[in-house]
Structure 1
Amino acid sequence: MITNLIILTLVLVGGSLGYNFFPELMDFIPSVPAWIANPIVGLILGAAIFYLLSFQVIKPIERSIKKMESFFSQLSVAYLIFGSVGAIIGLILAILVSIPLAALNMIFVSNVLPLILAVFSAYFCFQIATSRREEIRRLFTSRAQKQEENGVLERKEGDSFRRYKVLDTSTIIDGRILDVTKAGFLEGTFVVSQHVLQELQYIADSSDSLKRVRGRRGLDILNALQKEEKIEVQMDDSPLPESDEVDMKLVHLAKKMDGVVVTNDYNLNKVAEFQKVPVLNINELANAVKPVVIPGETMRVMVVKNGTERSQGVAYLDDGTMVVVEEGQHYMNKSVTVVVTSALQTNAGRMIFAKMEHSQKGIDDWKETK
């Protein structure tokens, strides 16, 4: 469509130039028949020449148009509207100023200076309208709306705010995204790609009972998210690179929408960071809100399995945090009191190292007797 439009435009331009200037050019050539110097002949020749020329320039023109489309698609509607209105006001002001200048009948002042004023006036008014658009908008806001907004900080869209949250399959199956959103810690629009939905359906139809349960849980979480009144869920059917895996498709989608990838997958987290795509990791959020343990604190745990080192036992807190207990191997399947010695934060989670409380008491007693 754009190709035909470019060709038609060039043909019309060529025909117009030929119609207006071809007869005057023929006046410089002696003994030219009158039918050749006819404007209609010039129109036909100009249109034909520009039609042939269009095949040479159509590709660069198309590339330029696509770059312009890409540039303007990244701008917000409010920015374009306020900028256009500001430029129009600047041109009107330049016309009003150029009227008395034209009456002076001076070559530079009457002809060139109004053009310069028009360009600069349109530019400055465009800049003022786009940079102060929030203030201009508030001028036209009704008093009732101003009273409702009074005392509320106005948030501007920037690098720290991403409206669209692209959900990963692992996050949906995990289910904690529903609780986090209900608590109000996530905002914006949740985007579910058709590829994620297909993957969930494939898992739900699996012959493996464990995978089938996980897939059905993911579909239930999606339905619960969609039923929440304060949560907006949007399906995305846009075409994405077919050769990529689902994880890479989500990264491409987040780039396209200027959104954030929400995931529990450690590898997807690293790939998205490498692609300069913001990531929200539910596991990192869970680790961040876990209670902080201080060396010297005591806690009650149950040793459930052997550790990797000699005499070590492993226990788990209610939130899943691993506790490595020195000499805990001798208290298998028993609830014991331990003393925290240190804590280690890793990308996979938090690990707590502890030892038996009675061994700590023995050290303290030995220090006192010494």
Structure 2
Amino acid sequence: MAKKIARAILALVGAGLGVAVVEGVNELLIYFWNFNMHRKLIEWGLALIYIGAAVLFAILLYLLAPRLIEGFTRFINTVESRLADMSMAEIFFGVVGLIVGLVIAFLMSTLTAKMELNWLAFIINAILYFTFGYLGWTVVTKRKGEINTPSWFKRGAKEKAGKTSVMARPKILDTSVIIDGRVTDICRTGILEGNMIVPSFVLRELRHIADSADPLKRNRGRRGLDILNTMQEELEVPIKVVETDYEDIAEVDAKLIRLAYDMGGVVVTNDYNLNKVAGVQRVPVLNINELANAIKPVLLPGEEMTVSIMKEGKEAGQGVAYLADGTMIVVDGGRRFLGEEAAVVVTSALQTSAGRMIFAKLKDR
């Protein structure tokens, strides 16, 4: 509904723009050829020109409205993300620089007050205000270190630095990590800061999976929806569903990367391929599998432990055991202890894309 209202408003703006264009063309004709449409043309012909221009520009903006709305939304999200990463002192100095730049632009715009072509004066003034406003903001924020900062700003900056150096980036969840469910336990620990973002296209994909004819897919989709409900009801971390979509992109993974780039956020996933593609496009990723591997206990060569030999290994005489976190231990000579506990000594460890593998030998008795 909101998009329809926005398209209607843009159509009205287009109609007004069409009338303004006709007025601008009339001023050009007067300036260069001394031809005034209001005096030279009959009333109904002039009315048709105005109506035709208004209708043409209204249709044009109505058709371009989806792209304009998407671009405006992306711009707002980017500005919001940038402002969220700035301290209060930076925003204050930026506003001061913006005001100074606009004052300078206002003084310079007086030079165009006597121009006969009003439309040209308007364009020049718009360029002046935009340029000096932007320069005022950027120059002052970049050189704020040369300005004596009030003590209350310094105190606020120290308090903020004591907690975190920058505002937390939004975490954008993909379908696989929601179905996986471990993100809920990670959020309970409090190590994930910032808003948890669930894009509308990810929610649609979950609903599609939950409605699948395949029982396995249907259960996975319903599990994902249940996990989302649990996160919204039980966790203190804010969960937000964003309606941003990219109709020109078909794949959900590509949409996720685009959304993370536009919002300045982090993609949370356990999808290996999505992790690699996002890395190529320089979009930050939090891979749940990598996090799980990182927090597994480190076993150094020479450490002793007691394990239960669960099955035979690939090589002759080998036995395979598992730690509580699922880490595989290959025990040289452990086959004869199949189904029993054995004391082993760690010899080496190997990190693979699938996880960590530990090699051990039987402890000498």
Q: What band does the TM-score fall into relative to the shorter chain?
A: 0.5 to 0.7
| Residues 140 and 197 of structure 1, relative CA distance in 2, 3 Å threshold | farther
1:152 equivalent in alignment to 2:162: yes
What residue in structure 1 maps to residue 21 of structure 2? 10
Deviations along 1:203-237, whole A, 9 cap, x unmatched? Answer: 44566665555444333321121124521111133
Unaligned runs of 5+ in 2: 1-10, 111-124
TM-score by length of 1: 0.67
Deviations along 1:260-287, whole A, 9 cap, x unmatched? Answer: 2111122222222233322101111111
Q: Which protein is bigger by CA-based radius of gyration?
A: 1
For 1:200 and 1:188, the matched residues in 2 are separated by 23
| Residues 248 and 46 of structure 1, relative CA distance in 2, 3 Å threshold | same
1:164 equivalent in alignment to 2:167: no
Q: Which of 277, 280, 290 pairs up with 1:271?
A: 277
Q: Which has the higher contact order (CA 8 A, sep 6+)?
A: 2
What residue in structure 2 maps to residue 225 of structure 1? 231
Task: Name whichever of 194-203 and 204-213 sits farther off.
Answer: 204-213
- Preserved contact between residue 15 and residue 42 of structure 1 (Cα < 8 Å): no
| Residues 222 and 323 of structure 1, relative CA distance in 2, 3 Å threshold | same
- Preserved contact between residue 298 and residue 338 of structure 1 (Cα < 8 Å): yes
For 2:343 and 2:219, the matched residues in 1 are separated by 37
- Preserved contact between residue 300 and residue 348 of structure 2 (Cα < 8 Å): yes
Q: Which of 119, 126, 135 pairs up with 2:137?
A: 126
Give secondary structure in 2 for the equivalent of 1:344. strand
Aligned residues with identical type, % of pairs: 44
Deviations along 1:120-155, whole A, 9 cap, x unmatched? Answer: 97665333444478999x869799x95994773563
How far did residue 295 of structure 1 move?
0.5
For 2:288 and 2:348, the matched residues in 1 are separated by 24
What residue in structure 2 maps to residue 40 of structure 1? 39
For 1:241 and 1:97, the matched residues in 2 are separated by 43
Give secondary structure in 2 for the equivalent of 1:318. coil
Give secondary structure in 2 for the equivalent of 1:350. strand
For 2:251 and 2:109, the matched residues in 1 are separated by 61
The aligned length equals 319
For 2:25 and 2:92, the matched residues in 1 are separated by 34
Q: How does 1:129-278 map to 2 (within 5 A)?
A: 129-131=140-142, 146=156, 149=159, 152=162, 155-156=165-166, 163-204=169-210, 211=217, 213-228=219-234, 230-241=236-247, 244-278=250-284
Deviations along 1:45-82, whole A, 9 cap, x unmatched? Answer: 99969x99xx9xxx9xx9xx969969954752559997
- Preserved contact between residue 201 and residue 245 of structure 2 (Cα < 8 Å): no
Unaligned runs of 5+ in 1: 27-36, 100-114, 362-370
For 2:275 and 2:109, the matched residues in 1 are separated by 59
- Preserved contact between residue 320 and residue 330 of structure 2 (Cα < 8 Å): yes
What residue in structure 1 maps to residue 114 of structure 2? none
Give secondary structure in 1 for the equivalent of 2:162. coil
For 2:250 and 2:350, the matched residues in 1 are separated by 36
